[in-house]
Structure 1
Amino acid sequence: MASLTSTQQLLEQVDLVRLRLGANAARRSTLGQVFTPAPLARLMAGLIAMPHQAVHLIDPGAGLGTLTAAAVEALCQRTDPPETISVTACEIDAALTPYLAATLAACATYCKQFGIAFEAKLVVDDFLHFATQQLAPMFDQPESHFNLALLNPPYRKIQTTSHERRLLSQFGIEVSNVYAGFVALCIKLLRPNGELVAITPRSFCNGPYFRPFRKFLLDHASLRSFYLFDTRQEAFRDAAVLQETVITTAIVGGVQQPTLHIITAHSPSDEMPTVQEVAFAQVVHPADRERFIHLVTNQASQAVVAQMQHLTATLADLGLTVSTGRVVDFRATEYLRDEPSTATVPLLYPTHCEHGQIVWPKAGKKPNAIVYTAATQALFVPNEIYVLIKRFSAKEERRRIVATLFHPDRVASEWVAFENHLNYIHCQGAGLKPDIASGLTAYLNSTLVDTAFRHFNGHTQVNATDLRTLRYPSREQLIALGTLVQPNMEQAQIDELVAREVFSMHATSDPNQIQKRIREALDLLKLLGLPRAQQNERSALTLLALLNIKPDTPWRTAQAPLCGITPMMAFFATHYGRTYAPNTRETVRRQTVHQLLEAGFVLANPDQPDRPVNSPKAVYQIEPRLLTLLQSFGSVGWEANLEEYLASIQTLRVRYARERSAKMLNVQIAEGQLLYLTPGGQNELVKLVLEEFRPRFAPESEVLYVGDAGKKFALFRRDELAELGVVLDEHGKMPDVIMYDATRHWLFLIEAVTSHGPIDGKRHDELSRLFTQAKVGLVFVTAFLDRKGLQKELSNISWETEVWIADAPSHLIHFDGDRFLGPYGGDV
């Protein structure tokens, strides 16, 4: 790894090493190791909450050191940074230690720039062995001093008779997977009030295998928050890991607080996660002996869980049993046949369950039959009625629970066999009665049950144990439901039937209706051709708010109110139970509304077109033709209307783009080079900085960056900045304008003040840290439109900076220092 001088560069370089090493299948299989991507590491480091003057970090399974680097960055940039940071990085794979050593060296360099003492210890050992040695009751063994653990532990099963299991048992830790062992040992190693931040699979939240670990976790730590991702492939996307993950933050010892936070994001880089404050008693039910952990992410989901709690029956109470298919195909290879014959028995795989129907035989990669012999007879069940449930859901399936009714008339045979990736519900080895089987299939396929199951279940699969734990309607309710089920019912019909017959709910009180509306909005965004990045729940909620579509509002009554960002967010919370932090308004505007504007689906400030887009009074409205189209959604004419709209949309986009372009501010920054800025807000002042300040005080300068109130930035010359030693993240707190004067070797950092503050002491420090690697001198300038603006902020201006006022463009006001207009801190 090359020599590194900043943590920003460090994380990028570590990530390049991670990508070069790739998703090594052998390493993952043997060690259970998946490297931490840089965005995930930054997110986890940002969750560190406890201030310490001396931080003692344990990074078990450190890998390339990404989590350590992210922690150093986050700690150094705090307003209350520590005085010292010491790191113990433990890694079993000796091949990774050169990379890890380089990361630790770069962290030392970075800390030195902040005046923070740094020391590191690299341990080449299995963390389980290292930790148990640290915890061993030896006279010469000092008491553990760690107060922070940041970890992405390996994921691998631990055999009951293994050495690892015996090591952990010595310290009262009983786990079935090595990741739980890592977390438990970190809790043991941490001091009282020490902080734990760990990303792991969600599987520990329920199930009998993790019961001892849940007890250990809840007895030894107080939970602070859970951070979830709404899709299972996002946390480790480029490693192709399909796993439900959760980031757990906890404090060792202490009293469990009455509430904790459950945060949900689309990905680690999502700037707008939903935050739900939940009573601890809702997460871990006080009377639950299993101590299951229920991760309910929003108010609508809470309503679903509350409905499910009214049900009391289990499969056993119903006189039913669930089993896993008996055929493990690799053990029965010699008996499998592609085509059925008189000497075979029908064999069903999940692929034979298609859209609620049994499709058998089926051409494809899977066999359709198994030979009937004495050796295979125990694998068969009578050809009767069963409910089949896929153990694994396919990527394209929205549902986790996918149930199919198996009827004996689907195959002509006395016996039938189910492969191991299917669960089947039966009555003591025999088939089910028709009505109860039909009712049970409909119940399991309902959105309400699927939603409840997702919040309860932390696996990517549906095990027989999970189905035994699930709650069901009474036998009478299932039979009544089964009598009403019709062939080929749509999902909405199944949901309505289950809500009415099982939960006695009408559409207006059905929490499923919320999810249904959001799914419909997501489908519309996809049909309208929005990029994949905008096909998310936040964009769906924005569309619903702009149409004033509540969960029980028919599409035909959609409206086009004028709506600002803050009212949109209030709409999300009030009607859809999605609560976002108030400081994410800008994210909604920049990452969602802006894209809808660019697509021509939304109009900005139609009541006052010259209003600045970043004005607190800015409003948006759905485009009239799109409104007309969406009012027909679900009607007979929908498809024809959609086709006609899509055919005309390019013309609309061109027209609206032309209208927006006509309102843009044009600024010439070089011969033949124009910038186009969104009108209004600080951009009016930015234009004056470039046209009035620059010719007077930096005439030889080159413009390297210009922010834009409407689209984050109008110009960003990364390569030129990198040559000056400056590597910036576009999502960071950038100044409004950056200009470089090569003659004097000065870098001008200019803040244009209209609504935000000037370069005060805090902002001066932020910019100094952001540009700490610059090879040239820094000149700090605050620009105001007029003296009135300066008067408001006069007491906040930082010393050793310049102030420029647009209505007196030939003058600068110099604040203290030993020179007029120039860099400080030893620069010339």
Structure 2
Amino acid sequence: MSALDQVDIIRIEASKKIDPAKKGALGQFFTQYSIAQYMSSLFSNIKGSVELLDPGCGPCSLAAAFVDETVARGESSSLHVHAFDIELGMNNFIERSLNVCKSYGRQSGIAINTTYLNTDYILHSTDPTNLSNNKQYTHCIMNPPYKKINSAGAHRKALRTVDIETVNLYSGFVSLALRQLVDGGELVAIIPRSFCNGPYYKHFRSSILSSSALQHIHIFDSRNSAFSNDEVLQENIIIHLIKGANQGSVKITSSPTADFHLDKCTNTITATDMTTRTVEFSSIVYANDENKFIHIAANNRDQIIINKLAVFTTSLAELNIEVSTGPVVSFRAKDELRQELVSGAVPLLYPQHLAMPLKWPIVSKPNAIMVSKKTEKNLWQSSGYYLLVKRFSSKEEKRRIVGTLFDNSLPEKLIGFENKLNVFHADKKGMDKTTAIGLYVYLNSSLLDKYYRLFGGHTQVNATDLRAIKYPSKKQLENIGANAMGTELTQKQIDILIERELANMNGPNDNNPMTSQNKIDEALSILKSLGMPKQQLNERSALTFLSLVNLHPNGSWQALESPLRGVTPIMDWCKDIYGKEYAANTRENFRRLTLHQFVDGGLALYNPDKPARPVNSPKACYQISKELLDVLSMFGTEQWEKSLKNWLSLRETLVASYAKERDMHMIPLILDDGTEIKLSPGVHSQLISDIITEFGPRFVPSSEVIYLGDTGAKEDFFKKDRLSELGVKVDRKGKLPDVVLYWAKKNWLILVESVTSHGPVDGKRHQELATLFASSIPELVYVTAFPSRQLMTKYLSVISWETEVWVSDAPSHMIHFNGDRFLGPH
């Protein structure tokens, strides 16, 4: 077991024993196995003598993952782990974990030492008695605590002594750790996204960007992905910084969830549907932005959203508009609140009142507040038009920013706004109608909502965030407002008005990211109607579906096509047409988690142009079925529901028909024990069949088939338990040869590699198989199978010594590449 495997058992044990409330109070949550593994993989350089800092270490999952990564790379002579944690109850778990790390290092030939301090990392590191002895670390990996710090608190004062100004423990941890890194030292941290914008983190942003180079940012599509076990609803990102390095381009990756895992084909850590892009630093932090806001776009479509909104450059101050938190704090004015509008009272608005039109009065909340010396200063003039935005949005709401227009049509000359509202106003009075309607349209636009989700890491909407956003100019707001007058402001109409204003500024532009999103949403709706299960109702499947009908963002469902497309061309199409670039190692997800289900569900056909094409052929392709294409052309018309219902009624018949046609091209194979297998069509599968029916009976008669690899169903036949009995325990996805036979008479394992899959048993493959089967009880025989002697001649120079060669077109003969004996283990 790796160090992380062992420590993760300790983590789970510790998590059960530590009070969740205490974890919340400390603002620290344990790092999941997969995240720790991914974070450790991000370091560029782990060489020589390594000094690792893990502040707020918890059960040491991150340190253990770093140990595994260090051992795997094999470029470090020694590693010293310096761990800090404040929680006394973690001491036993931490000591056990660090002992695991030291033991694993001894087993791997790397000297690993550890130092653990049960103390507050910030207070310890800023203590004047320790400053001169502050360790210069080469690496830092951290999941710091997330907790606001009071301006008069001990942590704030301690950080100020070393010229660090910040409002949260996590940013204090990162700033301090960067100070303690050597030049060229690397830091990888998982932290809230909230530091990317807003005035509170300006000093922190300036500090990290001036002292280090930003190398990599990973974002999660879902805000509860990173710490789902602890039910933490926090938008987190993973950042990789190198101290003192020159800033170059930045790699941005994203994933829907935190299911990081090792992709054995590429030997890299990846996640389901991970996207990747490399961008210039200037597109993340704008050169002329004194606030150093960090804009993170996971794909080209997101970047387009940022670019489109960048044309609006006006601040609220320039508009003579302010946004403030509602001044009425309910618990402080408890005695002045009234359920009804009585004499001496004025209307009071809560978030629950907001709707179009306004819902006032309501039963669940006070609807009025008495005017008194205590409350009068918090009541504003009831004149003109206000814009109200909830500070906290519910999970049911589709948008973060939801603006409500309030026209002061309620009685009385004063109005109260409760503290959970953000209020746009002009010096505590309403705005003119045209400007207010223009602002309402802008705030409720889908484009701004998408931008805010990229721009902000908060689930709530604060007045500070709303001030940081740029707005259309006064003239543009008036123009939008004038065009909106007398119009039913549906979401579609609001988005049209904003797009029209953008067109006025930049000219017509077909590159509208909201049009792309609408097509994706429509595709998801159709897939759901077609009966696709929940697992296929995601953006990957929607884009694959759109690719198979070649429907561009501005295209029509009444003008569909049915191109033949393979997996890689589909992924390229997603990038080129919809701006979503999936990582190369997610190719298998498209095939296994989307296209396979499309074929099984009768939506698409596999190799319809040439059903006998080998599965591993680079020309393998998919095509939308003709019957479904006709139905899809009815989407959005009156005939859609009827056509859909008719297709669904025929679906089972169609699927059976497609399957029967596919089966006609399968290669049947019956093993000695009567097991019937159907191999996918192609040269490779035919050679596999020949190995079983021609090679086996001639040279290893009555041998037992242990494993049979087929390009269409790689794991359809595998006696894993039987192989384990023979001393070999391997993962089903391990790099097994194409055929494994056990010949009990000689007690030999015959490892047969079909040259049509990954080439012959050359020196490298011989070593791989020898390592994989090192624990085998039977002796090993290595065989390369060729379909013809003509093909064999291309590989003669690389075939490994001490192996055998069998050729299907001369099945009664073998060639022995071992000089002192014939068939048998060497």
Is the 1:590–1:712 contact (alpha carbons within 8 Å) kept by the matching residues of 2? no
Partner Cα separation in structure 1 for residue 643 and residue 200 of structure 2: 54
What displacement does 1:651 show?
A: 4.0
CA distance in 1, matches of 2:15, 2:604: 39
- SS of residue in 2 equivalent to 1:404: strand
- CA deviation after TM superposition for structure 1 residue 764, in Å: 5.8
Residue pairs, 1:38-53, within 5 angstroms = 38-53=33-48
> What residue number does 1:281 align with?
282
Aligned partners of 1:111, 1:760: CA distance in 2, in Å?
A: 33
Partner of 2:211: 220
Going from structure 1 to structure 2, the CA distance change for 1:167 and 1:453 (only over 3 Å counts) comes to same
What's 1:472 paired with? 471
Deviations 1:669-689 (A, max 9, x none): 685654554433644444555
Hey, what does 1:419 align to over in structure 2?
418
Give the structure 1 partner of residue 457 of structure 2: 458
Q: Higher mean Cα deviation, 714-723 or 815-824?
A: 815-824
Match of 1:369 in 2: 367
2:124 touches 2:130 (CA, 8 Å); kept in 1?
no
What residue in structure 2 maps to residue 128 of structure 1? 122
Query: In 2, distance between residues paired with 1:194 and 1:261?
Result: 18
Asked if the contact 2:141/2:187 (under 8 Å) is kept, the reply is: yes
Is the 2:135–2:180 Cα contact (8 Å) retained in structure 1? no
* CA pair 819-241 structure 1, distance change in 2 beyond 3 A: farther
**Aligned match of 2:89 in 88, 95, 104?**
95
Give yes or no for the alignment of 1:28 onto 2:23. yes
Question: Which residue is equivalent to 1:494?
Answer: 494
1:222 CA displacement: 0.9
Inter-CA distance 310–329: structure 2 relative to 1 (3 Å threshold): same
Provide the residue aligned with 1:70 in structure 2: 65
CA RMSD of aligned residues (A): 3.8
Mark the runs of 5 or more structure 1 residues left unpaired by the alignment.
none
Cα distance change of structure 1 residues 495 and 21 upon mapping to structure 2, 3 Å threshold: farther
Matched letter for residue 395 of structure 1: K
Q: What is the CA deviation profile of residues 297-346 of structure 1, one whole-angstrom value per residue up to 9, with x for unaligned ones? A: 33333333233222222112112111112344455566667x54537655
Identity %: 40
Taking structure 1 as reference, are residues 38 and 187 closer, same or farther at Cα in structure 2, changes over 3 Å only? same
1:510 aligned partner: 512
Structure 2 CA distance for partners of 1:129 and 1:801, relative to 1, 3 Å? farther
- The reply on whether 1:785 has 2:786 as its aligned counterpart is yes
C-alpha change, 1:281 and 1:415, in structure 2 (3 Å) is same
The answer to whether structure 1 residue 252 and structure 2 residue 251 are counterparts is no
Give the secondary-structure state (helix, strand or coil) at the position aligned to 2:139.
strand
Mapped partners of 1:551, 1:770: distance in 2: 49
Letter of the aligned partner of 1:563 in structure 2?
R
Q: After superposition, what is the alpha-carbon deviation per residue over 1:15-59, rounded to whole angstroms, capped at 9, x for unaligned? A: 65477569x531332211122222222222222222413433322
Aligned to 2:560: 558
Question: How many residues are treated as equivalent by the alignment?
Answer: 807
Which of structures 1 and 2 has the bigger CA Rg?
A: 2
> 1:522-541 maps to which residues of 2 (within 5 A)?
522-541=524-543
Deviation of 1:558 after TM superposition, in Å, equals 1.4
In the alignment, which residue of structure 2 is the partner of 1:399?
399
Deviation at 1:452? 2.4
How much has 1:802 moved relative to structure 2?
6.2
Flag the 1:798–1:501 CA change in 2: closer, same or farther, 3 A: same
CA deviations over 1:689-747 (Å, ceiling 9, x no partner):
555666765956573x6555345532567777788897766666565566778999987
Residue pair 2:52, 2:141 contacting (<8 A) in 1 also:
yes
Distance apart, 1:621 and its partner CA: 0.6
Letter aligned with residue 71 of structure 1: F
Change in CA separation of 1:542 and 1:303 when aligned onto 2, cut-off 3 Å: same
Report deviation, 1:636. 3.4
Deviates more, 1:218-227 or 1:506-515: 506-515
C-alpha contact 1:38 1:66 (8 A) present in aligned 2: yes
- In 1: Cα distance, 2:222 partner to 2:733 partner: 23
Q: Does 574-583 or 440-449 show the bigger shift?
A: 574-583
CA 1:740/1:625 → structure 2, altered by over 3 Å: closer, same or farther?
same
Change (3 A) 1:404 1:730: farther
Among 128, 140, 150, the residue aligned to 1:159: 150
- The SS at the match of 2:715 is strand
> Is the contact between residue 125 and residue 134 of structure 2 (CA under 8 Å) also seen in structure 1?
no
Aligned residue among 54, 58, 63 for 2:53: 58
Secondary structure of the corresponding residue to residue 547 of structure 2: helix
Distance 1:224 1:743, change over 3 A: farther
- 2:755–2:785 CA contact under 8 A, matched in 1: yes
Give the gaps of 5 or more residues in structure 2. Answer: 260-270
Which string of whole-angstrom CA distances, capped at 9 and with x for unpartnered residues, describes residues 544-589 of structure 1?
2111111221221111111122322222222222233445434432
1:202 aligns with 2:193: yes
Amino acid at match of 2:370: Y
Pick one of 712, 715, 722 that aligns with 1:713: 715
Q: CA deviation at 1:217?
A: 0.4
2:470 alignment partner, SS class: coil
Question: Is the contact made by 1:360 and 1:368 (CA closer than 8 Å) also made in structure 2?
Answer: no
**Distance change >3 Å, CA 186–CA 558, structure 1 → 2:** same
For 1:591 and 1:64, locate their aligned partners in 2 and report how far apart those are by CA, in whole Å: 35
1:390 and 1:467 map into 2 onto residues whose CA distance is: 11
d(CA) in 2 for partners of 1:133 and 1:724? 61
List per-residue Cα deviations over 1:179-199 (Å, max 9, x = no partner): 112222222222221222111
Cα gap change, 1:720 to 1:502, in 2 (>3 Å): same
The alpha-carbon deviation at position 280 of structure 1 amounts to 1.2
Deviation, 1:7, is 5.0
Is 2:177 the partner of 1:186? Answer: yes
Q: Give the whole-Å Cα distance in 1 for the aligned partners of 2:772 and 2:13.
A: 24
Preserved contact between residue 346 and residue 411 of structure 2 (Cα < 8 Å): no
Q: 1:778 to 1:203 in 2, by over 3 A?
A: farther
Is 1:432 matched up with 2:426? no
**What TM-score, normalized by structure 1, do the two folds share?**
0.86
Return the alpha-carbon distance in structure 2 between the equivalents of residues 203 and 669 of structure 1. Answer: 61
SS in 2 for 1:225: strand
Q: What secondary structure does 2:592 align onto? A: helix
Instruction: Tell me the CA shift for residue 210 of structure 1.
Output: 0.8
Matches within 5 A, 1:557-596: 557-596=559-598
AA paired with 2:234? Answer: Q
Which residue of 634, 637, 648 corresponds with 1:635?
637
CA distance in 2, matches of 1:186, 1:493: 50
**Cα deviation digits, residues 631-674 of structure 1 (max 9, x gap):** 22223333443344444434434443454455445555685654
Shift of 1:810: 7.1
Q: Deviations over 1:58-78 (max 9, x none)?
A: 222222222233333333334
SS in 2 for 1:591: helix
Report the AA paired with residue 404 of structure 2: T
- CA distances 1:732-771 after superposition (whole Å, capped 9, x unpaired): 6565566778999987766544242455555566667777
Aligned 8 A contact 2:36 2:65 in 1 = yes
SS of 1:261's partner is strand
Q: Is the contact between residue 567 and residue 590 of structure 2 (CA under 8 Å) also seen in structure 1?
A: yes
Residues 116 and 186 (structure 1), Cα distance of their counterparts in 2 relative to 1, 3 Å cut: same
Give the Å deviation of 1:103. Answer: 3.7
Q: CA 1:403/1:812 → structure 2, altered by over 3 Å: closer, same or farther? A: farther
Aligned equivalents of 2:330 and 2:321: distance in 1?
26
AA at the equivalent of 2:83: A
Q: Does 1:545 align with 2:515?
A: no
Give the Cα–Cα distance (whole angstroms) in 2 for the partners of residues 553 and 501 of structure 1. 22
User: Deviation at 1:622?
Assistant: 0.9
